[in-house]
Amino acid sequence: MDRYKLIFDTDPGIDDAVALLLLHAMPSVDLQGITTVFGNASIEDCTRNALYICERFGLPYGVFQGAGVSFLGAEEEDYPDFVHGRDGLGDVGFSPPSRLPAKISAADFIVQAARMSSDPIEILAVGRMTNIARAFEIAPDIKSKIRRVVMMGGAVGVAGNVTEWAEANIYGDPEAADHIFMSDVPVLMVGLDATLMHQISRTQLATLTDDLGDAGEFIWQIKQHYLNFYASKGVFDGFPIHDATAALAMIFPDDFEIAEGDLRCVTAGDQRGRTIFSERHGGHHQVALSAQGTTLWRRFNALMHAQFGVDSSKTV
């Protein structure tokens, strides 16, 4: 099987945590490193969470701490603790990990990994795209080594989740997103149009909890906060796992309706953070416009059982 090199750029974050476990379970992914960015919590909390997950599950990946402010240097005033908890992982009270982040920054790692690799590298970005924009700015030569940026973010035909127009990852750093869109690097955008179509029900969550041993226990622990948030919005059964759905889109594009065209991001005015997509055959951006939720749940479940399942006789 062909394995391809991937950098995971993330702001863990509850759905980020699930995506990291899923990536570890994907045999075709050769994960080069985890780069962290501020977003769901402060950069220190997001980095600590990535290290915690790696330590708890024995994941052998380096963690590179990245941006704590936006591409233009703006600080965050309000982290979304009502979604992800004050610590970013649902305020379960996990003990601090003993592992430390690597000595170089996320942007420097992206530059170094791209330059040193003989094959093109893919980046899965499931937070603000600040680190990638910085890497492209300090080393424009690496753009030719990036096969594609797959990103969770944006909304095209549905409303945003921060404003009517803007989704959280894009709203948090629109200039970084537009910097990526303006580069020649191919992008696959997996935004709310697709991720809201793949939701996990409470019954499905219970199956994971029963079958996946410590990984199941961990997902159950962190999801309690998330479930409460969705219940407060009137959604009592089912929650999206945005970042894990974007990871699935890399490997199973046929389970999505994907259109080609050109992406830009609005950086000023009421629509700041809005992703604008102009469909055009042959455009070097792709957008997932919908997703087959039932099939994706089957894929997710099968991969997670194969990696973390406690009963090997049980197939899904």
Cα 216–Cα 219–Cα 221 angle in degrees, nearest 5: 105
Per-residue interface string for the shown chain with ligand BDR, residues 132-171, x marking contact by CB under 6 A? --------------------x--------x-----xxx--
Residues 193-232 that bind ligand BDR (CB under 6 A): none
Q: How far apart are CA 16 and CA 18, in angstroms?
A: 5
Binding span for ligand BDR by CB under 6 A among 9-17, 87-95, 200-208, 267-275: 9-17
> Which candidate in 24, 84, 242, 305 is catalytic?
242
Both structure tokens of 52: 């915690």
Q: Which is nearer to ligand BDR, 15 or 87 (CB)?
A: 15
Q: Residue 309 Cβ, how far from ligand BDR at the closest point, in Å? A: 25
Q: How far apart are CA 312 and CA 305, in angstroms?
A: 8
Both structure tokens of 184: 């020649």
Q: Residue 91 Cβ, how far from ligand BDR at the closest point, in Å? A: 15
Q: Which is nearer to Ca ion, 13 or 216 (CB)?
A: 13
The count of chain residues that interact with ligand BDR, using the rule CB under 6 A, is 15
Q: How far apart are CA 101 and CA 68, in angstroms?
A: 15
* 8 Å CB contact between 250 and 125: no
Residue 242 appears among annotated catalytic residues? yes
Q: Which is nearer to ligand BDR, 128 or 145 (CB)?
A: 128
Q: How far apart are CA 236 and CA 2, in angstroms?
A: 41
Q: Residue 155 Cβ, how far from Ca ion at the closest point, in Å? A: 15
Residues 213-272 that bind Ca ion (CB under 5 A): 243
Q: What single-letter DSSP state applies at residue 58?
A: T
Residues 91-130 that bind ligand BDR (CB under 6 A): 126-127
Q: Which is nearer to ligand BDR, 133 or 168 (CB)?
A: 168
Binding span for Ca ion by CB under 5 A among 41-49, 77-85, 123-131, 261-269: 123-131
- The C-alpha torsion from 144 through 153 and 279 to 188, rounded to 10°, is 40
Q: How far apart are CA 147 and CA 253, in angstroms?
A: 16
Q: Residue 189 Cβ, how far from ligand BDR at the closest point, in Å? A: 12
Q: Which of 8, 13, 196, 241 binds ligand BDR (CB under 6 A)?
A: 13
User: Is residue 127 a contact point for Ca ion (CB under 5 A)?
Assistant: yes
* 8 Å CB contact between 272 and 266: yes
Q: How far apart are CA 255 and CA 288, in angstroms?
A: 10
What number of other Cβ atoms are within 10 A of residue 115's Cβ?
A: 12
- Stretch (H or E) spanning 131: helix 130-138
Binding site for Ca ion (CB under 5 A): 11, 13, 16, 126-127, 243
Binding site for ligand BDR (CB under 6 A): 13, 15-16, 40, 80, 83, 126-127, 152, 161, 167-169, 242-243
Residues designated catalytic:
242
